[in-house]
Chain A
């Protein structure tokens, strides 16, 4: 539905404020829809034209029930696309729409300028529609059951991507390499030196080490893959025996995974940034006296915290405000860090006024991990009463564990690393010279959920069609979980 004239007026006003604040966004198109439609669009992750699958129906059931019982309500939804699309809920009052618009413009600014979004497809709405169309054709051609079963398998592996890969150069394909002339066999090269210096510059140990290294490299070249790979989906697409349509489905799912991954990587920053700006625009510019109560109610709802939950809106906006203040007052750098006078530190003010500039820089080049790593301070943790919690086996409940800064930071960073997913690599695609697939879980202190891991292996087998194994650690013991096609095996290694 098009915007009413009242909304168009508000839109122009808020847009003006956003531009004057220095926000820089794609053209943004607002659409007003009712709650049933917004639930539907949200179920599809914002893309109403997405491919059909039951999990979107599950999402819908949850959202619409949540709405029906008054448990939750979606205020805003915005799609990273050029132009950006944003949805407004019809039944919201005008103050809410104002807040949402301010929020949305800041999100669009973030999408456009944050480096982690730089390689996302800005025509994703079209792309998703294409995926939907292709998927529907496959359903017609190969039958709903088969296609759905295959999608289920793929979704089981959906998180096995390499979040850094959009920023790495792709390795050359094998075929391209074969065209090249064969290189002369490598030998250990001595470092050039005068003869009398030779035994110092190229001692025997050094030469041996070089030789070993070279041999290892040769060994590696025979390995498949040459180096362990994080992008397991890509490995599957390139090497697993699949029908063409299956390969295409897997490619589409991988593409969507990569499209959504920057949003997961910047959840705290993105929401913090949007909240920062909607509150700035509202309180300093757009708010009318009569709207104050509604605004305060809505805004405090957005920032509410529950124990045991980190609210990304709250944490994000407070960190941005903290950064702005610190860079305004010059609370950073060697002098500040080394100062151990509590009062002096507290009242530190060099009147630098670089806060605004700094937060714009931060929104450009950081993601949640280095954002937290760089800007979460001990003072901040204390001021905002952060804590770590753990599960108590005896009382069967979650309990506050500690308020130690280092532990908090470590826990927080851990939960963000690899978007909260375990790090898993393809180690060997021809394991035991039988075409088995060997994965390796880099154990970072937390075990895998074994029942899930087993079912995932089963799904992986559906695609790889040969036995699949994963090395992991269970309760301190190195183990190998396998699925052979008939049975699950578990073995100590």
Chain B
């Protein structure tokens, strides 16, 4: 009996996932539906799957209720839409909370964006040891004794000895009959990744641009986390100078200075040199800007830094250019000119929130 409802329930969950898949674009761009809750669960309120029928516009129907109150008294907010019918035939507008783990969410993201699994590049520096039950042996602690096997051995022995009496089938195991579980220790390599986010916080980057960066990095995080066991994230903001900040300041700092992108790249290359030796780490660098660099000289410096210091050490370097009313958007053109497709550099223009979807695909679609 139980397996039956489980089947329908699983089916429903699959459709809910499918529903997210179909409308993933919308969820990403609206952003507000995704929030981390608890340890690694996030909760997405999503509409219950409603089978369309010919039915009344509930808001216009109103209905009959019972209780105190003058005309004009509120009887509850939006959620009371199904209160109208005494017979309870009008389906209400439920919001159904479905808990999805981050892993599940990442799987959906990967499936929808057709993201390839990432091939770790760096040396597998850290190994983890794990014990697994692998077989049976004749010695061991009593807590690991296997009843069934022990019984069989004893039965076999007693049969052979002729001491087994079918009318009184008592089996008494002796020490040699006893069987215990044994285990093996496996060593698995673990790969680690470091993400370096860089963002231009000069005067021309407004709140809307930052929101785009925030949403996009959330999804990038989600994906990379599903691919690597240990992940470290560093945040760098820059205008004319660069400094490292925590996550909150990364998204909320606003400065008014000019823009020297090279400052951020210098900082990043220092991080790579000192903290994340590329032999041990898979390094990802993401840089978001409106593409309005201070001077052509600085841009040349950036290109040198990328070519010499950053690109050779990273799995992937992404530059996302957010469209802004103030920025000239020159930087992306310069990058495109100097780096053809051959390098692990991906550039992408993000026009507005709807562009996030495609941009993530461009960034992560190479499987690096």
Question: Residues of A with Cβ closer than 8 Å to B?
Answer: 36-37, 40, 43-44, 48, 52-58, 60-62, 65, 152, 155-160, 264-265, 267-268, 305-312, 314-315, 368, 384-391, 395-403, 408, 411-412, 414-416, 419-422, 424, 441, 446-456, 459, 470
Contact = CB atoms under 8 A, between A and B. Distances in A.
A389 B62 contact: yes
A48 B1 contact: yes
B76 interface: yes
B86 A315 contact: yes
A403 B149 CA distance: 78
Nearest to B99: A65
Contacts of A37: 1-2
20 contacts: A48-B4, A52-B8, A60-B5, A60-B8, A61-B9, A62-B96, A159-B55, A305-B67, A307-B69, A311-B66, A315-B66, A385-B66, A398-B62, A398-B76, A399-B73, A411-B64, A420-B56, A446-B56, A447-B57, A452-B54
Nearest to A48: B1
B47 to A, nearest CB: 11
B64 A58 contact: no
B183 interface: no
Nearest to B52: A455
B55 A421 contact: yes
Contacts, number: 235
B71 A400 contact: yes
A55 B55 CA distance: 19
A57 B68 contact: no
A448 B56 contact: yes
Q: 9 closest Cβ contacts across the A-B interface?
A: A57-B12, A57-B8, A455-B52, A310-B86, A390-B62, A57-B9, A420-B89, A308-B83, A308-B75
A61 B96 contact: yes
B80 A398 contact: yes
A288 to B, nearest CB: 32
A97 B56 CA distance: 39
Which of B10, B11, B66, B78 has most A Cβ within 10 Å?
B66
Interface residues of B, number: 55
B2 A36 contact: yes
B84 interface: yes
B33 interface: no
Interface in B1-60: 1-2, 4-5, 7-13, 15, 48-60
A411 B87 contact: no
B72 A57 contact: no
Contact of A58 (B7, B12, B83, B89): B12
A206 B11 CA distance: 66
B81 to A, nearest CB: 8
Interface string B215-228: 00000000000000
B253 to A, nearest CB: 36
Contacts of B55: 159, 421-422, 448-449, 452
Contact of B89 (A387, A401, A412, A421): A421
A446 B89 contact: no
Given A57-B7, A385-B67, 8 more contacts: A61-B12, A160-B54, A307-B75, A388-B63, A420-B87, A422-B54, A447-B56, A453-B52
Contacts of B88: 267, 312
Interface string B322-343: 0000000000000000000000
A389 B63 contact: yes
Contact of A408 (B64, B87, B94): B64
A13 B341 CA distance: 85
B233 interface: no
Nearest to A401: B71
Contacts of B49: 54-55, 58
Given A310-B64, A415-B63, A447-B56, A57 B10 contact: yes
B54 A402 contact: no
B9 A60 contact: yes
Contact of A400 (B5, B72, B89): B72
Given A391-B62, A398-B75, A400-B72, A267 B12 contact: no
A402 B71 CA distance: 6
A48 B2 CA distance: 10
A48 B11 CA distance: 17
Nearest to A268: B86
B90 interface: yes
A267 B76 CA distance: 24
A387 B2 contact: no
B87 A312 contact: yes
Contacts of A451: 52
A387 B67 contact: yes
B87 A57 contact: no
Contact of B87 (A368, A399, A448, A452): A368
Which of B7, B54, B94, B96 has most A Cβ within 10 Å?
B54
B85 interface: yes
